[in-house]
A and B are shown apart, each in its own frame.
Chain A
Amino acid sequence: DGGITQSPKYLFRKEGQNVTLSCEQNLNHDAMYWYRQDPGQGLRLIYYSQIVNDFQKGDIAEGYSVSREKKESFPLTVTSAQKNPTAFYLCASSIVASKSTDTQYFGPGTRLTVL
């Protein structure tokens, strides 16, 4: 089945630790995205990647880092510099990022809690 997988589903982090959230897609999409969702709010863009080995900051990139070494993988690292990391993180992909027509498809999300 084609789709987007995220792991883990739940993640607990102690303050001061870096953690990495996994996102994998087998849809052969060029573009991938990371969003953050806080309770009662919409999604906000953290980082996006249009192609392998390339990525750009979104609206709230501070305290986060990404890599795109393979087309199907776009891991997100939440660093200790992120002051309020507790949130629900959603990964998405689209065929390309350069067309406004392209629909973004989402993974099941990772809920991160800082203890």
Chain B
Amino acid sequence: AQKVTQAQTEISVVEKEDVTLDCVYETRDTTYYLFWYKQPPSGELVFLIRRNSFDEQNEISGRYSWNFQKSTSSFNFTITASQVVDSAVYFCALSEAMDSSYKLIFGSGTRLLVRP
């Protein structure tokens, strides 16, 4: 069965530190998509990135960067120079085929606390 593991339950850093959130996945599919979402205290999930299995290039967006390594089935997320506003729960997710549709398999999330 498909599975997403976020082993870090909670991480606490001081503002301006860099922090990496780990995501390891299991899938039998040769083509698949991985996602990261941010859930701030308000509760809404905010989409951050989508990455397909054929594109192993690292991606950078401002202070955010993502490292996709197919060889280790990992899709890690790094925040550079963290800020208090980065405090949230972050979810990694994997798309899984079901009948004629797709669903997302979510990890259990990593709670990031950035202290001033």
Instruction: Report if A and B associate in a common complex.
Output: yes
Interface residues of A (CB under 8 A from B): 31, 33, 40-45, 48, 50, 56, 58, 88, 90, 92, 97-109, 111
Taking CB atoms and an 8 Å cut-off, the chain B residues in 40-83 that contact chain A are 42-47, 50, 52
Closest 7 CB pairs of A and B: A42-B106, A106-B45, A97-B101, A100-B95, A109-B43, A108-B44, A100-B102
Residue of B nearest to A90 (CB): B45
Inter-chain contact B99/A56, CB cutoff 8 Å: yes
Q: How far is the CA of A111 from the CA of B106 in the complex (A)?
A: 19
**Whole-angstrom distance from the CB of A19 to the nearest CB of chain B?**
18
Given A40-B108, A100-B32: A109 in contact with B44 (beta carbons within 8 A):
yes
What residues on A are CB-neighbors of B95 within 8 Å?
Answer: 100
**Do most interface residues of chain B lie in helix, strand or loop, or is the interface mixed?**
strand
Q: Which of A58, A97, A101, A106 contacts B50 (CB 8 A)?
A: A101
Inter-chain contact A105/B47, CB cutoff 8 Å: yes
Inter-chain contact A108/B104, CB cutoff 8 Å: no
Inter-chain contact B109/A42, CB cutoff 8 Å: yes
Q: Which of B43, B50, B93, B101 contacts A56 (CB 8 A)?
A: B101
Query: How many residues on the B side are at the interface (Cβ–Cβ under 8 A)?
Result: 29
Q: Which of B102, B103, B104 contacts A99 (CB 8 A)?
A: B102
Interface residues of B (CB under 8 A from A): 4, 9, 31-33, 35, 37, 42-47, 50, 52, 91, 93, 95, 97, 99-104, 106-109
Q: Which of A40, A102, A105, A106 contacts B102 (CB 8 A)?
A: A102
What residues on A are CB-neighbors of B37 within 8 Å?
Answer: 106
**Whole-angstrom distance from the CB of A27 to the nearest CB of chain B?**
13
Residue of A nearest to B96 (CB): A100
Inter-chain contact A101/B52, CB cutoff 8 Å: yes
What residues on A are CB-neighbors of B43 within 8 Å?
Answer: 88, 90, 108-109, 111
Q: Which of A58, A109, A111 contacts B103 (CB 8 A)?
A: A58
User: What are some 21 contacts across the A-B interface (CB < 8 A)?
Assistant: A31-B101, A40-B9, A41-B108, A42-B108, A43-B91, A43-B104, A43-B106, A44-B106, A45-B103, A48-B101, A48-B103, A56-B101, A90-B44, A98-B102, A100-B95, A101-B50, A101-B52, A102-B102, A106-B37, A109-B43, A109-B44
